[in-house]
Every structure is written in structure tokens, then in C-alpha cells.
């Protein structure tokens, strides 16, 4: 894990700097220029008053925004009906709308030739621009293809595709006909894909023949073929062509483009209830089974569009460049739904930060004239190692805001991002949120007046978000300069509604730990001035290169190897990835393989069961694991050993066998020595 600089040395930036805050920010007299809907709130004249209203009169706030910002087929009658104790969250009931109409049709009416998507293909300089008119046409053709194949409202459709216009059109086509999409990151293995298809009981999968990334061909369809063999629910696989290469097609495979071209380019949108399902997105939790987080229609769309507009100060005509993959929530909310709902121009990034060289992002910024760039700290940490020249040789004058997401950004990376990439000109917004929150919850929000930004802090809650910190006893920590478990005290429209097929787990995970609050699973610190800093996960979830991973998932995979008796996975600090996974293995008796072979096979099994990014960086073979007398593995002890904080092992009175620790410490040192030699 990265440590930020001691708080004393964090300097407030931006506030008071000439030209900042920008003149367009909210002032005491022009709050309605800042947010037109605010004109409806008599007496609200400045930003703090608007923020207070969003918390104290949340229903009034969200009602005005939902009516003004979304296009409804029929209006809602109830703003919200939430009971956090039961995990029951309902917004804008009675209302009917279609998300694809909000993201496409209404912009086709006003500006059909405006560019909706810029597909930044793997090959630099080969971008493809898709207008709103074109996006509508493609979406309708895919929607009609799905309908012809028998896909109906409520059916789940698994999308396993790299970022591309056809992938976005597939998501929106589902939304148009009321199907529920579940995008699976195209880096997941066949088994991980199969688990997700089965949990969702999808009959339809959409994929591409191959993918192209970093100049390499990836056999995507082959992975789908393997997954589908394990999934009796699948009746059809629609295959789009990313390359001209032929791939084997079976009797359930349908060439998507060929079918689409036979369909009409218009498709009536289905009127969806606000609380009908829009999508499932699987994410890791503290058990071995990923959770299918459920997001619904109106609340999610409103929240992503509002956060996109205000956190990034997105203006009409701006080019928004979020480089996340569509397989993660960041791709859903800030590549697809937020920007398109706002009628924006959004970049779909297919490549990697270092292809064909470490200047890729900045060359793209120059070529596409990107105004807001939104990426992950892991990439920033990687790029800063290559030096400033890769950045400075490109014109970045189009940039206005730089965003960071997914994991803590350490001070060094923050400084480099701000000073080198942004030339000390662009506010850096470190945005905290989760798959569960649907959109950004805590961020500097630079559209705000006098927005002070402190490096490596996520700063302030967004409108309607009421963060609270809790102590170990479940008591709310009042006042500032305090740290605890981060909860959110009142519901907001973007939050997840349930875990697919497992509402009990939803309640247990998020609402039981602190009654009447949403528990995030993260720890946070609140500074003297009331600003927030995220201190990391409190559960057995680790964050590898900004990707969430349950340690139980890793253990579940390695335990399937025939030589493994038991295992324990933990997260450990990694210079580039933020966190890496470190796995301790106890072997069964009589194993006669070399340690090297065992390690390689275990890495292979994790890659096969989960994904390449989940492969452990360290595998230490031990005789026994530190356990309590009741047999529970003491991961806290393992973490301290790996952090080399032996004087912080804490209370060991429950430890069963003290010799286990000495052995592990010695083995750890030995392993590092060997690694250094290699």
C-alpha cells in the first residue's frame, strides 16, 4: 500500500492561485448559472446552501434534478422510498423512461452530427468517430437483432468485448429493449466468465472474434467457446468482427454485423420503470464468489450524468477521455452512461498506456484534443518511471481537468500528474467511489467555488452524499481529525439496489455492520478542515492495479491444485500496482515437485481460474500457517511479517503455535534474497 506524505507536509494547492477558481464557478449571485435547476430552490444563493439543501432536503434536490435532466415517458410520483435496514432502495417510482433515448435519441434531435464516441483503437492514429445519429442507427440494429433472436425485457445478456462502438451499442441496445446487460471485463478467464454467465443465467453472449491490445491479438472468441461449454443456459453467441481473421463458428454462433445489416435502423424503445434492472456488474467481495451488483434505470443515469457534469466540470463541446475499460464500473459510468446522457463526446480507449511507447496517453490527448483525462494511479506510477520527456513532447494545452480513480494515489504520482502532465494548470480530482455507489461520491469537485485541493486527498462529498466515520463499537465519530470506517448515512439515487439473486448478502455486507448506514468496506480519515482521505479496505479485498480482488478468490483458485493443503492470500505494497497479492501455501505430504515448478503451476491456475491480473507476485511455501486455537488463520500476522513490522504483531495470546511465525519470517527473508539474486 502507498503511504501519502505526512499530513503536515501536504500543501493546499490551487486555492488563491491566480485564475483559480475559474470565473465560471458558482458565486453568490450566479448559482443558477452554475446549476440551472437550483433556480427552483428559493433562498439558495450559493454553493454551500445548495450542498446543504441536497442533504437536508434531499428529496427536493433530487426531484428537481431528475425532472430537469432526464427525459421521461411518464413522470414519477414518488421521489424516494428507501429503508436502509432492509436494503430497500427505490427512487423515482411511477416514472417510466428509456436510458438509450436519454443517451442517444434526444441528442440526435438537437445535434445529430455531433461526435458521440471517439474509438481510440489500439493502432495509434487510427481513431474512428461515431456521431449520435450513427450511434442510434447501430444501437437500433443491434437491438432489432437481439429481439429477432428472442431476447426479451428482463433477459440477461453477457457482453465480453473490448472497448469499441459495437460494445457500447450492445449495452445501449439492451437498454433500449429492456434487457439487462452484464459486461464481463475481457481480461477474465473462461472459468471466471462462465461463473458470471451462470450466475446471471444469460442465454445470450455478445463477443468479438478477436481482440487487439498492445499490438497483440487476443483470441477472445476461443475463451467464450470454453466458457460456453460450461454454461447450459447459453443459447446464442453473437460474434462481432474486430479483425478480418476467421475464427471457428459453431451452430449457436451468429455473425453480428451480418445479422445487423439485415435489420432496420429504427427500433422503438421500451418504456422502463425507474426501478427495472439496467445492468449487473460483478465485483469481488470478501468471499470467493463475486457479487452481481444490480443497478437500475433512472437513479443510476441521473447520478452518473450529474457527477460527470460537475466533478469534471464537463462543458458542451468538451472531449472526455476516460481510459478505463468498459468491463469495470468506471467504464460504465464515465465512458458510457454519464457522458452520453450529457450529450458529450467520449473516448473509448482500446490500447495500453505504453503502446507503442510510454507517450501513448499524451499523444492521444494532443491528437484528440482531450479536455478531461480520467485514469488510474497505477498507470501514472508506471509512466512517471519513464521520465517527463514522453509527456512534454506532446501538446497538452487542451487539458482542463485530470482525474484519478480506483485506488489511493500516492503523493509522488499526484505531484507528477499535476506538475508534469497538467503543467501545474489543471486541477487533479482524486475521485472515491465503488461499483456499489454507481458514481463518484467523494471528490474535490472543481466546479465548486474556492475549491481547495490537497494532494492525495479525495476531499469533499458530492451533492446528496453524507459520509460518516464509525468507530469499532459502531459509534459515529463526530468532529474532525479522526479516522474510522467509512459509511454513507443517507441513500442517493446512484447506489446499487441489490446483489443479483442474493439480497441477504446485500443486507449483510452493506447495511448490517452499521444499522441505517451504507457501509463502504473502506476506512477513511477526516482532516481538521473536514476533508477526506481514504485509508484502504477494511475487509479481505485487495486492489491490484486498481482492480478489486478478493483474497478468498485467489485462495479458492490455488487450493484447487493437487499439491496444496491450504493457503492464505494477503495484499502487500507494490511500487507500480499499488498492491500485489502474496500467497502462503502449505503443501500436502509427499509432494515431490520443485518449488519453482509449484510456483509456476500455481500462477497458471490463478490465471486460468480468474485472470492474468490476479496472478500472485509472491508465493511462499510454508510448513504451517499462523492460526488461532480455534483454527482461524491470523492474516493480520502474515501482513505484518510481509510489511516487516515484527514489533507490531500485536496480541498473540490466541496463537496456536509460535514456531509458525519464526519459520515464516525466515522463509520470507530467504525468498526475498533469492529474488534479489534472480
Closest among 339, 353, 303 to 118, alpha carbons compared: 339
Burial letters 234-243, b for 16+ CB under 10 A, else e? bebbbbbbbe
Closest among 457, 453, 394 to 420, alpha carbons compared: 394
Give yes or no for residue 274 binding ligand PRX (CB under 6 A): no
Q: Which helix (H) or strand (E) holds 390?
A: helix 389-392
Q: What sign does the CA torsion over 264, 266, 268, 273 have?
A: positive
In the list 292, 299, 455, 521, the residue contacting ligand PRX (rule: CB under 6 A) is 521
In the list 313, 522, 540, 553, the residue contacting ligand PRX (rule: CB under 6 A) is 522
Give yes or no for residue 431 binding ligand PRX (CB under 6 A): yes
As a whole number of angstroms, the distance between CA 116 and CA 134 comes to 9
Burial letters 124-142, b for 16+ CB under 10 A, else e? beebeebbbbbbbbbbbbb
Closest among 346, 288, 327, 270 to 114, alpha carbons compared: 346
Give yes or no for residue 410 binding ligand PRX (CB under 6 A): no
Please say which residue, 170 or 283, places its beta carbon nearer to ligand PRX: 283
Cell of 69: 435532466
As a whole number of angstroms, the distance between CA 255 and CA 142 comes to 12
The CB-of-352 to ligand PRX minimum distance in angstroms stands at: 18
| Helices and strands in the chain, H and E counts | 22, 31
Residue 365 φ/ψ, nearest 5 degrees: -60, -45
The CB-of-377 to ligand PRX minimum distance in angstroms stands at: 8
Contact present, 554 and 542 (Cβ < 8 Å): no
Burial class (CB in 10 A: 0-12, 13-18, 19+), 503: middle
Please say which residue, 224 or 542, places its beta carbon nearer to ligand PRX: 542
Please say which residue, 130 or 544, places its beta carbon nearer to ligand PRX: 544
In the list 100, 378, 434, 581, the residue contacting ligand PRX (rule: CB under 6 A) is 434
Which residue has the closest beta carbon to ligand PRX? 435
Burial letters 156-177, b for 16+ CB under 10 A, else e? bbbbbbbbbbbbbbbbbbbbbb
In the list 100, 207, 274, 283, the residue contacting ligand PRX (rule: CB under 6 A) is 283
DSSP 376: -
Please say which residue, 548 or 599, places its beta carbon nearer to ligand PRX: 548
675 alpha-carbon distance from chain centroid? 33
Stretch that binds ligand PRX, among 130-138, 345-353, 473-481, 518-526 (CB under 6 A): 518-526
Please say which residue, 285 or 422, places its beta carbon nearer to ligand PRX: 285
**Strands ordered across the beta sheet of 498-499:** 253-255, 236-240, 204-208, 156-160, 180-183, 277-283, 291-296, 498-499
Give yes or no for residue 432 binding ligand PRX (CB under 6 A): yes
Distances (CA, A) of 19 to 16, 214, 318, 369, 450: 8, 39, 20, 22, 11
Please say which residue, 422 or 550, places its beta carbon nearer to ligand PRX: 550
In the list 458, 469, 569, 625, the residue contacting ligand PRX (rule: CB under 6 A) is 458
How many residues of this chain bind ligand PRX (CB under 6 A)? 21
Contact present, 284 and 553 (Cβ < 8 Å): yes
The CB-of-6 to ligand PRX minimum distance in angstroms stands at: 18
Q: Are strands 291-296 and 277-283 parallel, antiparallel or unpaired?
A: antiparallel
Interface with ligand PRX in residues 528-547 (CB under 6 A): 534, 537, 543
In the list 21, 408, 427, 494, the residue contacting ligand PRX (rule: CB under 6 A) is 408
Binding mask 354-393 for ligand PRX (x = CB under 6 A): ----------------------------------------
Stretch that binds ligand PRX, among 108-116, 299-307, 399-407, 611-619 (CB under 6 A): 399-407
The CB-of-521 to ligand PRX minimum distance in angstroms stands at: 6
In the list 435, 509, 567, 620, the residue contacting ligand PRX (rule: CB under 6 A) is 435
The CB-of-537 to ligand PRX minimum distance in angstroms stands at: 5
Contact present, 146 and 177 (Cβ < 8 Å): yes
Stretch that binds ligand PRX, among 70-78, 199-207, 239-247, 400-408 (CB under 6 A): 400-408
Please say which residue, 542 or 619, places its beta carbon nearer to ligand PRX: 542
Please say which residue, 551 or 620, places its beta carbon nearer to ligand PRX: 551
Interface with ligand PRX in residues 298-337 (CB under 6 A): 329-330
Please say which residue, 305 or 434, places its beta carbon nearer to ligand PRX: 434
The CB-of-323 to ligand PRX minimum distance in angstroms stands at: 13
Q: Which helix (H) or strand (E) holds 526?
A: strand 518-526
Residue 373 φ/ψ, nearest 5 degrees: -115, 130
The CB-of-420 to ligand PRX minimum distance in angstroms stands at: 20
Stretch that binds ligand PRX, among 237-245, 336-344, 427-435, 557-565 (CB under 6 A): 427-435
Give yes or no for residue 405 binding ligand PRX (CB under 6 A): yes
The CB-of-324 to ligand PRX minimum distance in angstroms stands at: 8
Helix (H, G, I), strand (E, B) or coil at 429: strand
First to last CA, the chain: 24
Please say which residue, 61 or 532, places its beta carbon nearer to ligand PRX: 532
Stretch that binds ligand PRX, among 8-16, 255-263, 349-357, 515-523 (CB under 6 A): 515-523
**Which residues of this chain interact with ligand PRX, rule CB under 6 A?**
283, 329-330, 405-408, 430-435, 458, 520-522, 534, 537, 543, 548
Amino acid at each position: 500500500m502507498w503511504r501519502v506524505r505526512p499530513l503536515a507536509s501536504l500543501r493546499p494547492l490551487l486555492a488563491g492561485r491566480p485564475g483559480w477558481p475559474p470565473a465560471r464557478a458558482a458565486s453568490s449571485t450566479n448559482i443558477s448559472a452554475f446549476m440551472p435547476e437550483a433556480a427552483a430552490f428559493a433562498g439558495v444563493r450559493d454553493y454551500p446552501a445548495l450542498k446543504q439543501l441536497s442533504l437536508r432536503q434531499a428529496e427536493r434536490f433530487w426531484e428537481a434534478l431528475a425532472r430537469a435532466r432526464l427525459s421521461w415517458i411518464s413522470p414519477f410520483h414518488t421521489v424516494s422510498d428507501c429503508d436502509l435496514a432492509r436494503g430497500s432502495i427505490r427512487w423515482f417510482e411511477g416514472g417510466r423512461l428509456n436510458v438509450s433515448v436519454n443517451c442517444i435519441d434526444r441528442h440526435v434531435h438537437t445535434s445529430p452530427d455531433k461526435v458521440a464516441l471517439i474509438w481510440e483503437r489500439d493502432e495509434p492514429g487510427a481513431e474512428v468517430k461515431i456521431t449520435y445519429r450513427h450511434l442510434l442507427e447501430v444501437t437500433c440494429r443491434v437491438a432489432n437483432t437481439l429481439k429477432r433472436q428472442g431476447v426479451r425485457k428482463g433477459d440477461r445478456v453477457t457482453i465480453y468485448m473490448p472497448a469499441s462502438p459495437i460494445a457500447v451499442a450492445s449495452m445501449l441496445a439492451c437498454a433500449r429493449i429492456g434487457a439487462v446487460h452484464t459486461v464481463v471485463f475481457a481480461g477474465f478467464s473462461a472459468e471466471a466468465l462462465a461463473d458470471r454467465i451462470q450466475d446471471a443465467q444469460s442465454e445470450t453472449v455478445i463477443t468479438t472474434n478477436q481482440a487487439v491490445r498492445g499490438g497483440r491479438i487476443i483470441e477472445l472468441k476461443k475463451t467464450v467457446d470454453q466458457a460456453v461449454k460450461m454454461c447450459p443456459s447459453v443459447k446464442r453467441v453473437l460474434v462481432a468482427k474486430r479483425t478480418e481473421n476467421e475464427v471457428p463458428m459453431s451452430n449457436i454462433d451468429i455473425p453480428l454485423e451480418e445479422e445487423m445489416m439485415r435489420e432496420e435502423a429504427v427500433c422503438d424503445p421500451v418504456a422502463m420503470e425507474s426501478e427495472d434492472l439496467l445492468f449487473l456488474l460483478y465485483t469481488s467481495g470478501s468471499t470467493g464468489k463475486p457479487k452481481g451488483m444490480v443497478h437500475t434505470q433512472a437513479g443510476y443515469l441521473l447520478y452518473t450524468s450529474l457527477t460527470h457534469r460537475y466533478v469534471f466540470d464537463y462543458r458542451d463541446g468538451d472531449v472526455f477521455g476516460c481510459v478505463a475499460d468498459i468491463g469495470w464500473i468506471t467504464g460504465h459510468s464515465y465512458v458510457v452512461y454519464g457522458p452520453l446522457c450529457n450529450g458529450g463526446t467520449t473516448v473509448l480507449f482500446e490500447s495500453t498506456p505504453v503502446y507503442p511507447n510510454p507517450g501513448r496517453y499524451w499523444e492521444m490527448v494532443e491528437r484528440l484534443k482531450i479536455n478531461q483525462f480520467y485514469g488510474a494511479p497505477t498507470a501514472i506510477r508506471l509512466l512517471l518511471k519513464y521520465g517527463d520527456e514522453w509527456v512534454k513532447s506532446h501538446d497538452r494545452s487542451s487539458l482542463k481537468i485530470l482525474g484519478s480513480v480506483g485506488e489511493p494515489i500516492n503523493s509522488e504520482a499526484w505531484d507528477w500528474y499535476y506538475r508534469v502532465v497538467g503543467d501545474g494548470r489543471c486541477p487533479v480530482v482524486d475521485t472515491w467511489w465503488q461499483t456499489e455507489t454507481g458514481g463518484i461520491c467523494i471528490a474535490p469537485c472543481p466546479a465548486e467555488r474556492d475549491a481547495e485541493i490537497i494532494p492525495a486527498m479525495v476531499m469533499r462529498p458530492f451533492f446528496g452524499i453524507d459520509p460518516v466515520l464509525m468507530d469499532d463499537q459502531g459509534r459515529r465519530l463526530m468532529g474532525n481529525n479522526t479516522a474510522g470506517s467509512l459509511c454513507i448515512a443517507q441513500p442517493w439515487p446512484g447506489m446499487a439496489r441489490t446483489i443479483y439473486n442474493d439480497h441477504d448478502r446485500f443486507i449483510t455486507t452493506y447495511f448490517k455492520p452499521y444499522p441505517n448506514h451504507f457501509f463502504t468496506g473502506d476506512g477513511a480519515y477526516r482532516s481538521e478542515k473536514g476533508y477526506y482521505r481514504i485509508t484502504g479496505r477494511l475487509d479481505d479485498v485487495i486492489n491490484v492495479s486498481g482492480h478489486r480482488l478478493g483474497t478468498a478468490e485467489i485462495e479458492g483458485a490455488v487450493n484447487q491444485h493437487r499439491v496444496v493443503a491450504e493457503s492464505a492470500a494477503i495484499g502487500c505494497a507494490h511500487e507500480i500496482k499499488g498492491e500485489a497479492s502474496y500467497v502462503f501455501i502449505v503443501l500436502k505430504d509427499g509432494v515431490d515437485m520443485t518449488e519453482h515448478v509449484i510456483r509456476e503451476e500455481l500462477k497458471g491456475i490463478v490465471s486460468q481460474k480468474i485472470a492474468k491480473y490476479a496472478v500472485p507476485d509472491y508465493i511462499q511455501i510454508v510448513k504451517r500457517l499462523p492460526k488461532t486455537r480455534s483454527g482461524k488463520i491470523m492474516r493480520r500476522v502474515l501482513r505484518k511479517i510481509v510489511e516487516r513490522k515484527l514489533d507490531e504483531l500485536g496480541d498473540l495470546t490466541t496463537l496456536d503455535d509460535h514456531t509458525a511465525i519464526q519459520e515464516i519470517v525466515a522463509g520470507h527473508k530467504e525468498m526475498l534474497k533469492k529474488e534479489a539474486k534472480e
